A = this chain, B = another copy of it.
């Protein structure tokens, strides 16, 4: 670490570089599932029955954007919409079987690629890296 460049600089630069590449990498690895689609499916896997508005807030997207993405995912048979009986404005989003399938496939191929990159890492370093990322994202969510 050079004297002139603080860790903060490095974190900023490296995260920026990563963000820049992420889209291209994701697109190359899974042309049929955009980064947003992937994150939506992944989110639904965790929180079945989540609302479109929640997705928009969580990923800092406009509700119209989410609406279109959701429509596309439904058209492809990856998710289902069920109207909330207690509030007919709300649509509860669920993973459809097709969605679980493609999500598993996308995840494993992403996993494979990441594994290839991280094969040389000491497990302890990897665990620490993971925990730092978790902490950073949590901080980012807390400081909007």
Give chain B residues whose Cβ lies under 8 Å from the Cβ of A25: 60, 140
A83 beta carbon closer than 8 Å to chain B: no
* Chain B residues whose CB sits within 8 angstroms of the CB of A142 once the complex forms: 117
Residue of B nearest to A23 (CB): B19
Q: Are A10 and B140 in contact (CB under 8 A)?
A: no
Answer yes or no: A82 CB below 8 A from chain B CBs: no
User: Which residues 112-142 in A have Cβ within 8 Å of B in the complex?
Assistant: 113-118, 120-121, 123, 125-137, 139-140, 142
Cα–Cα, bound, A115→B9 (Å)? 10
22 contacts between A and B (CB under 8 A): A1-B123, A8-B114, A8-B115, A8-B126, A9-B111, A11-B129, A11-B130, A12-B111, A12-B114, A13-B42, A14-B130, A14-B136, A15-B18, A16-B22, A16-B42, A17-B137, A19-B19, A19-B26, A24-B60, A25-B60, A117-B139, A118-B139
